[in-house]
């Protein structure tokens, strides 16, 4: 069975296929969770929650080819909600695993990403971390490709401004 | 143009890809998430069933899995004319009667709402007739809708509202708008009613993101009901030796009620009418209600009212009630017995399609063999009681769709409250059929 076939069966309600689908994408999902939540324990919990949400909603997924992106969107939505909730508490020093973020440039980038809106974060994540094509993002979000491109530009510009604000000089 | 930013992003990506992943623990997380979702599904099924069964004895919830529907231009226009209604189209388009209600402007827009904290309930509109009320509503909230549960809908009027079966969906938020949820609350009155005063209040208890919201929205229906039309029939029919009488047929805008009484001398118990329908002179068909309450009453009482999609707004030259296929089992096959202490299926239909897989004091699992080319059975248990006839405290009950392996899995769970074995399950439906050709004209 190829990936699309697995997704198609999962959408039809086949439980084994659903588990297979999750297995297939667990690496990508975990990496997504780590990118946002920064620690293993939270990432595993996020994977559990994503599985839970996905199983409840999988019948609503129309296009098997987009199963992976669909799952990653659920994951990102969950992570973003978690981060919002976490803001109410002061994050303690243990929150981030050092393996995920240990040098200054990375911290700076993450800080910049944090200033983006949830939609912008999702867009950046899909495009640069999951290598989803602009055409596919457009199809999934049901917006024209041109809109995706202009949003991407706007977002990158915001990132640049953030770095420039930090005193970096950019000559492009 | 943004090479530098892109470079940073790519660096971050590379770094992320080098992080070792807890892949074994991931499998555990996946299974836990799945179990949680399954448990909840079962629970929802049990809750919904309990609501329906306690209010009316028989109700059938068939989920139409795949339906291809051609939307008529008249319906599309009618829907387009009412702002906001397009969101409800999916919920109404597979019921011809409901579609006709819109084409004939019998839907009444309301627009009353109440806001509690971050959540707003709006009654968009209603369809009221003597058989019930369909309430189209929207809940908007600042929090994620994944956690919304409808707990208890209650309809109030100065006059007493008859006991009702209530149908509603489990809220599933839409991908595009996770904070808006729309559904229809379908109240089906057990006895037809006509209200003098059209001021109602809908009390809707919901649970959103773990918190309870007690909505209470007063609204007034602008116009009173169009009268229902009753055809007295008193016609006895026989299918494979089993006799029943079509007592009357009442045509309401929302549904058609077909009242049937059964001959106490029948040797089989009729579980379900598979294809009861109205048919006009051109062969156009109005079939059973596919998403909502499909019957009232209990065959044990000898009388039942089945509901079909309405043709109230049609003016056919001739109209027939037709039945060809029923689910029926010999009286002694209409139930099965499980001894959960001995882990034994004590009694079951003689065709042997039911097998016990495992059992304990808190429930059991069974399989139902699925014949080729036959539709899966959509529900197995009508009533679960112990040896003393005391109803079991059901925690969940469900049947799988059977798309793989040629068997359906049945899972019934209950509290161990010291009940006495064996546990008796009366069948709700079963894949055993009798066929005939019932065709009765509804005379004006």
DSSP states along B90-132: HHHTT-HHHHHHHHTT--EEEEEEEEETTEEEEEEEEEEETTE
The span from the first CA to the last CA of chain A, in angstroms, equals 47
pLDDT of residue B47: 45
Counted across chains A and B, CB pairs separated by less than 8 A come out at 127
Averaged pLDDT for residues B208-235:
91
Residue B272 pLDDT more than 90? no
Residue B139 pLDDT more than 60? yes
Residues A92 and A40 in one domain: yes
Burial of B9 (0-12, 13-18, 19+ CB in 10 A): buried
Task: Give me the DSSP letters along B220-245.
Answer: E-SSPPPPPEEEEEEEEEEETTEEEE
DSSP state of A120: H
In the listed set A39, A72, A97, which residue is the last one of a domain according to the structure? A97
Residues A11 and A58 in one domain: yes
Of B301, B270, B293, the closest CA to residue B428 belongs to: B270
The segment with the largest mean pLDDT, out of A95-104, A136-145, B177-186, B198-207, is B198-207
Q: Are B245 and B303 in contact (CB under 8 A)?
A: no
Q: How many CB atoms lie within 10 A of CB B322?
A: 14
Task: Give me the DSSP letters along B366-389.
Answer: EEEE--TT-PPP---EEEEE-TTS
pLDDT of residue B168: 76
User: Taking the model in full, what pTM does it have?
Assistant: 0.59
pLDDT of residue B175: 45
Q: Calculate how close chain A gets to B166, using CA atoms only, in Å.
A: 23
Residues A118 and A91 in one domain: no
Residues A33 and A66 in one domain: yes
Q: In what order do the strands lie in the sheet with B119-129?
A: B108-116, B119-129, B132-141, B180-189, B164-167
CA distances from B220 to A19, B182, B198 (A): 49, 20, 6
Residues A38-50: pLDDT tens digits? 888 889 999 999 9
d(CA A78, CA A86): 12
Give the lowest-confidence range in A101-105, B153-157, B263-267. A101-105
Say which CATH number the domain at A157 has.
Answer: 1.10.10.10
Hey, is B281 helix, strand or coil?
coil
In the listed set A79, A97, A115, which residue is the last one of a domain according to the structure? A97
Please enumerate in sequence order all residues whose Cβ is within 8 A of that of A20, keeping only pairs 6 or more positions apart, or say none. Answer: A1, A6, A10
Averaged pLDDT for residues B234-239:
94
Query: Taking each helix axis from N to C terminus, what angle separates A40-57 and A15-37, rounded to the nearest 10 degrees?
Result: 140
d(CA A6, CA B403): 15
Averaged pLDDT for residues B343-369:
93
CB nearest B26 (choices: A30, A35, A56): A30
pLDDT interval class at B42 (50, 70, 90): low
pLDDT of residue A18: 94
* More confident site: B114 or A90: B114
Q: Are A93 and A39 in contact (CB under 8 A)?
A: no
Residues A52 and A33 in one domain: yes
Residues A108 and A86 in one domain: no
Averaged pLDDT for residues A120-139:
87
Q: Which pair of tokens denotes residue B389?
A: 């006839």
pLDDT of residue B424: 95
Chain A residues within 8 A of B41 when measuring between CB atoms = 56
* More confident site: A82 or B333: B333
Say which CATH number the domain at A36 has.
Answer: 1.10.1740.10
Averaged pLDDT for residues B421-425:
95
Give the lowest-confidence range in A86-90, A138-142, B286-290. A86-90
CB nearest B6 (choices: A13, A14, A128): A128
pLDDT interval class at B350 (50, 70, 90): very high
Q: Is A34 on the interface with B (CB under 8 A)?
A: yes
CA distances from B127 to B26, B88, B101, B130, B184 (A): 49, 13, 8, 10, 10
CA-CA-CA-CA torsion sign (B302, B305, B306, B311): positive
CB nearest A27 (choices: B21, B41, B175): B21
Task: Give me the DSSP letters along B157-168.
Answer: ESSPPPPEEEE-
pLDDT interval class at B43 (50, 70, 90): low
Residues A20 and A66 in one domain: yes
Rg (CA), chain A: 17
Residues A6 and A61 in one domain: yes
Q: Is A18 on the interface with B (CB under 8 A)?
A: yes
Residues A43 and A2 in one domain: yes
Residue B99 pLDDT more than 50? yes
Residue B172 pLDDT more than 60? no
CB nearest B29 (choices: A14, A48, A60): A48
Residues A88 and A20 in one domain: yes
Residues B399-413: pLDDT tens digits? 776 655 678 888 888
Averaged pLDDT for residues B181-210:
88
Mean pLDDT, all residues of chain B: 82
pLDDT of residue A86: 66
Please enumerate in sequence order all residues whose Cβ is within 8 A of that of A167, keeping only pairs 6 or more positions apart, or say none. Answer: none
pLDDT interval class at B41 (50, 70, 90): low
Averaged pLDDT for residues B1-8:
82
Q: Is A53 on the interface with B (CB under 8 A)?
A: yes
Residues A84 and A115 in one domain: no
d(CA B91, CA B94): 7
CB nearest B26 (choices: A44, A55, A81): A44
Nearest CA in chain B to A142: B176
Chain A residues within 8 A of B1 when measuring between CB atoms = 153, 156, 172
8 Å CB contact of B37 and A56: yes
8 Å CB contact of A51 and B33: yes
pLDDT > 90: what percent of chain B? 42
pLDDT > 70: what percent of chain B? 82
d(CA B166, CA B132): 10
pLDDT of residue B83: 65
Chain B residues within 8 A of A22 when measuring between CB atoms = 30, 34
Chain A residues within 8 A of B32 when measuring between CB atoms = 48, 51
8 Å CB contact of A128 and B9: yes
pLDDT of residue B278: 93
Residue B90 pLDDT more than 80? no
pLDDT of residue B60: 30
Q: What total of structural domains would you count in chain A?
A: 2
In the listed set A69, A97, A125, which residue is the last one of a domain according to the structure? A97
Residues A6 and A91 in one domain: yes
pLDDT of residue B196: 92
The boundaries of the domain holding residue A133 are 101-172
Residue B284 pLDDT more than 90? no
pLDDT of residue A172: 40
pLDDT of residue B212: 86
CB nearest B33 (choices: A49, A60, A157): A49
Burial of A99 (0-12, 13-18, 19+ CB in 10 A): middle
Q: Are B307 and B294 in contact (CB under 8 A)?
A: yes
Q: Calculate how close chain A gets to B72, using CA atoms only, in Å.
A: 24
Chain A residues within 8 A of B21 when measuring between CB atoms = 27, 30-31, 34
The span from the first CA to the last CA of chain B, in angstroms, equals 78
């Amino acid at each position: 069975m190829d990936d699309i076939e697995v997704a198609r069966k999962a959408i039809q309600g086949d439980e084994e296929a659903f588990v297979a689908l999750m297995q297939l994408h667990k690496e990508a999902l975990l990496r997504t969770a780590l990118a946002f939540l920064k620690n293993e324990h939270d990432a595993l919990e996020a994977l559990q929650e994503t599985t839970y949400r996905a199983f409840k909603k999988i019948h609503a997924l129309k296009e098997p080819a987009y199963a992976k992106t669909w799952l990653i969107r659920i994951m990102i939505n969950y992570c973003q909600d978690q981060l919002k909730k976490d803001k109410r508490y002061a994050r303690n020093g243990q929150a981030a695993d050092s393996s995920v973020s240990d040098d200054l440039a990375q911290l700076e980038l993450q800080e910049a990403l944090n200033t983006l809106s949830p939609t912008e974060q999702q867009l950046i994540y899909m495009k640069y971390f999951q290598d989803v094509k602009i055409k596919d993002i457009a199809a999934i979000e049901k917006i024209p490709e041109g809109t995706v491109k202009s949003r991407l530009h706007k977002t990158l510009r915001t990132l640049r401004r953030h770095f420039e604000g930090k005193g970096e000089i950019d000559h492009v | 143009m943004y090479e530098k930013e892109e470079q940073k992003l790519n660096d971050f990506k590379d770094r992320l890809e080098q992080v070792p992943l807890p892949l074994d623990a991931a499998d555990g997380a996946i299974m836990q998430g799945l179990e949680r979702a399954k448990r909840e599904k079962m629970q929802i099924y049990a809750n919904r069933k309990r609501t329906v069964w306690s209010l009316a004895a028989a109700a059938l919830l068939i989920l139409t899995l795949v339906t291809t529907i051609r939307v008529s231009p008249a319906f599309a226009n009618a829907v387009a004319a009412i702002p906001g209604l397009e969101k409800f189209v999916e919920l109404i388009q597979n019921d011809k009667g409901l579609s006709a209600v819109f084409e004939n402007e019998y839907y009444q827009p309301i627009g009353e709402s109440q806001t509690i904290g971050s959540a707003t309930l709006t009654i968009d509109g209603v369809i009221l007739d003597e058989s019930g009320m369909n309430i189209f509503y929207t809940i908007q909230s600042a929090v994620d809708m994944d956690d919304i549960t409808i707990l208890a809908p209650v309809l109030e009027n100065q006059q007493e509202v008859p006991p009702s079966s209530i149908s509603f969906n489990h809220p599933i938020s839409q991908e595009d708008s996770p904070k808006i949820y729309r559904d229809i609350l379908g109240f089906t009155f057990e006895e037809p009613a006509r209200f003098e005063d059209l001021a109602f209040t809908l009390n809707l208890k919901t649970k959103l993101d773990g918190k309870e919201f007690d909505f209470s929205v007063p609204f007034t229906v602008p116009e009173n009901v169009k009268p229902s039309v009753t055809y007295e029939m008193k016609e006895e029919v026989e299918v494979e030796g089993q006799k029943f009488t079509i007592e009357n047929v009442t045509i309401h805008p929302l549904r058609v009620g077909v009242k049937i009484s059964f001959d106490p001398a029948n040797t089989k118990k009729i579980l379900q009418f598979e294809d009861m329908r109205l048919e006009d002179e051109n062969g156009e068909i109005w079939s059973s209600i596919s998403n909502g309450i499909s019957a009232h009453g209990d065959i044990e009482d000898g009388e039942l009212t089945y509901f079909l999609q309405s043709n109230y707004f049609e003016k056919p030259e001739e109209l027939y009630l037709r039945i060809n296929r029923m689910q029926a089992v010999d009286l002694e096959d209409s139930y099965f017995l499980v001894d959960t202490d001995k882990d034994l299926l004590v009694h079951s239909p003689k065709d042997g399609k039911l097998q016990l897989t495992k059992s304990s004091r808190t429930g059991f699992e069974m399989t139902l063999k699925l014949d080729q080319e036959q539709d899966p059975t959509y529900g197995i248990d009508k009533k679960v009681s112990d040896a003393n006839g005391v109803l079991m405290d059901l925690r969940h009950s469900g049947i799988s769709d059977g798309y793989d392996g040629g068997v359906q899995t049945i899972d019934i769970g209950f509290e161990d409250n010291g009940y006495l074995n064996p546990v008796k399950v009366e069948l709700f439906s079963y894949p055993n059929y009798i066929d005939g050709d019932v065709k009765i004209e509804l005379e004006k």
